[in-house]
Structure 1
């Protein structure tokens, strides 16, 4: 399908997304779009922490399974998970059956609710690190895009101090990219300018 090949100015996509349709749709419709709801932030936190040691493609294929298991990423419900619920997750092939990652999702749901008491919303908390303004990068090649940076280091340290789990600097940077806090679409990608125009 020629329209999926990044060889023309109006159809060029960040090369990492090429491979299968779901990946391309994620790139075209979601990646880099600013997120302003705590539920959507929680969804990405769950998925990104689950990705550790795996490919994002693997997690995308299990995304619908995660939505079912984690009540469409309702962090209030996930925060109430019992040990029995966790054991149920451990035998569910719809998600990555890693105990530490599953327990981290439950812990992070609880910590997100605690954080809301001090910051109002997780959205206000994390966007506060950039004063509410997305960072617009101008990368021309994938080799230029960092896996982590000073900002993700700072946020990861702060989240760890607040008790969040499985959210190191690399995972946090992925979160910043996914939720539009950082625009890391390559400059020649058709989504770069589209995302750049998306402001609150």
Structure 2
């Protein structure tokens, strides 16, 4: 069975958008059918417009469809890519998750492979708390968490986060960072394929 992966990302300034695109390319190369989807912006337009970088990212992602319940039902694997806000996923991500109660109630989010990646302004800005907080939600769904663990040298080279790749905002995406993101996405596809077999 083909792995059908929905990658749902929210990105304020572009970091998580880049991560999602790197992951999408790796997952596609690993044989998955990928839907790259943005999580809708819920901040007031005047707030977004007050920051040039935020406004630019909204415009950059405008051509990507917003993730929907249909994308979640269609998929047999998920990757969430989100910034860290005060040690948690931002309100935009939580707002989308809060729309999925119907699918959860029907068991349509259960038994699917899932993973998460994040970023923050500094190396100790709450990334692990964000990822683990998302995993708590995913456990409620009955999803199967596929963290990267220490399963590849790229995890060590890119900072050593076994829960899910985390990026420091403003840092370039070099070979080590791309390799860690790609490994996590590929591992997710491989595990999803086993679950779907």
For Structure 1 versus Structure 2, the TM-score category normalised by the shorter chain is under 0.3
Higher helix share: 1
Q: So what's the TM-score if we normalise by structure 2?
A: 0.25
Q: So what's the TM-score if we normalise by structure 1?
A: 0.25
Highest RCO, 1 vs 2 (Cα 8 Å, sep ≥ 6): 1
Higher strand share: 2
